[in-house]
């Protein structure tokens, strides 16, 4: 069985519609897929169930949180699509995204990029608005020559458009997932650039909040890092998850169903479902 439990569609910052994403997953021989768009479940309202075939779809989302001034993402798997309390939590995240977008636009205006928000909102459409939409707008107005340059200059970690403080605390978000009956997964721990001691503190706080699993594998990952994260999952008695973190075609390191294999010594998160 091939599991890909982390992917994105046009409901947030992905390039493919939910149905196109599903078609690509089927073509990649994925057996179990989770669409985990940022702070939304909107993708699941667009899916044509008749196109799933033998593919099993796991309802999921990737929620933004704050932990010790770090922006940390928590994937919720097997979350309910019809639950008032969880829907309210998602709605609060969307309000935070609009607030964050306004702050980013104000900061960019001070750099001379005035009235940028309407174009960003248009690009996001009905999707969950994020920094990639700002990058697209900066590219369109000629402020940068590439999306990568937009992040390097204005939107990446530590840059003027990197706004973290509006997100709820990690324990609150994990509680949303736990109370809704889902599985909380610490997403791509290698991307936070934490020291070993800080990563251990993060996982301890995550576990204390009710977190169950950690992404031992995220995309095409270095084997040494995979072994380190596998060791961490075993040491902390955390279940292990894996996914491509797919956003768009053409990124071989984050292609649907082509992530590194989950080490056999780990206990997969799906073993508890």
Decide if 26 is inside a domain: yes
Instruction: Assess whether 229 and 125 both reside in one domain.
Output: no
Q: Tell me the pLDDT tens digit for each residue of 7-47.
A: 999 999 999 999 999 999 999 999 999 999 999 999 999 99
| Domain at 57, CATH number | 3.20.20.140
Residue 30: the pLDDT is 98
Decide if 161 is inside a domain: no
Decide if 42 is inside a domain: yes
Domain's final residue, options 155, 175, 193: 155
Q: Tell me the pLDDT tens digit for each residue of 216-225.
A: 999 999 999 9
Residue 108: the pLDDT is 96
Q: Tell me the pLDDT tens digit for each residue of 179-195.
A: 999 999 999 999 999 99
Q: Tell me the pLDDT tens digit for each residue of 206-258.
A: 999 999 999 999 999 999 999 999 999 999 999 999 999 999 999 999 999 99
Decide if 58 is inside a domain: yes
Answer whether residue 272 shows pLDDT above 90. Answer: no
Instruction: Assess whether 180 and 104 both reside in one domain.
Output: no
Instruction: Assess whether 125 and 236 both reside in one domain.
Output: no
| Domain at 136, CATH number | 1.10.150.650
Instruction: Assess whether 50 and 143 both reside in one domain.
Output: no
| Local confidence band at 48 (pLDDT 50, 70, 90 cut-offs) | very high
Instruction: Assess whether 85 and 214 both reside in one domain.
Output: yes
Residue 173: the pLDDT is 98
In which domain, by residue range, is 240 found?
A: 3-90+166-272
Answer whether residue 165 shows pLDDT above 80. Answer: no
| Local confidence band at 69 (pLDDT 50, 70, 90 cut-offs) | confident
Instruction: Assess whether 148 and 213 both reside in one domain.
Output: no
Instruction: Assess whether 150 and 241 both reside in one domain.
Output: no
Residue 227: the pLDDT is 96
Mean pLDDT of 99-107: 95
Instruction: Assess whether 57 and 135 both reside in one domain.
Output: no
Count: domains in the chain: 2
Instruction: Assess whether 84 and 95 both reside in one domain.
Output: no
Q: Which of 43, 34, 32, 157 is nearest to 90 (CA)?
A: 43
Domain's final residue, options 132, 155, 178: 155
Domain's final residue, options 155, 184, 202: 155
Instruction: Assess whether 133 and 259 both reside in one domain.
Output: no
Instruction: Assess whether 97 and 63 both reside in one domain.
Output: no
**Phi, psi angles (nearest 5°) of residue 228:** -65, -40
């Amino acid at each position: 069985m091939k599991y890909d439990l982390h992917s994105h569609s046009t409901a947030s910052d992905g390039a493919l519609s939910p149905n196109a994403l599903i078609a690509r997953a089927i073509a990649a021989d994925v057996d179990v897929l989770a669409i985990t768009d940022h702070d939304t479940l909107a993708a699941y309202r667009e899916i044509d169930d008749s196109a799933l075939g033998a593919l099993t779809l796991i309802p999921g989302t990737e929620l933004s949180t704050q932990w010790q001034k770090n922006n940390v993402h928590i994937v919720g798997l097997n979350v309910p699509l019809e639950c008032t309390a969880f829907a309210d939590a998602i709605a609060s995240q969307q309000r935070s995204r609009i607030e964050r977008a306004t702050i980013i636009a104000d900061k960019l205006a001070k750099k001379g990029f005035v009235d940028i928000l309407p174009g960003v909102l248009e690009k996001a459409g009905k999707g969950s608005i994020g920094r990639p939409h700002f990058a697209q707008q900066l590219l369109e107005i000629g402020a940068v020559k590439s999306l990568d340059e937009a992040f390097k200059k204005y939107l990446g970690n530590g840059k003027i458009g990197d706004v973290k403080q509006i997100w709820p605390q990690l324990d609150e978000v994990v509680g949303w997932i736990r109370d809704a009956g889902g599985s909380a997964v610490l997403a791509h721990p290698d991307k936070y650039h934490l020291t070993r001691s800080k990563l251990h503190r993060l996982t301890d706080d995550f576990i204390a909040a009710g977190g169950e699993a950690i992404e031992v594998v995220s995309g095409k990952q270095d084997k040494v890092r995979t072994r380190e994260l596998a060791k961490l999952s075993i040491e902390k008695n955390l279940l292990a998850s894996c996914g491509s973190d797919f956003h768009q075609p053409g990124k071989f390191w984050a292609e649907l169903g082509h992530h590194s294999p989950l080490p056999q010594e780990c206990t997969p998160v799906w073993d508890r479902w």
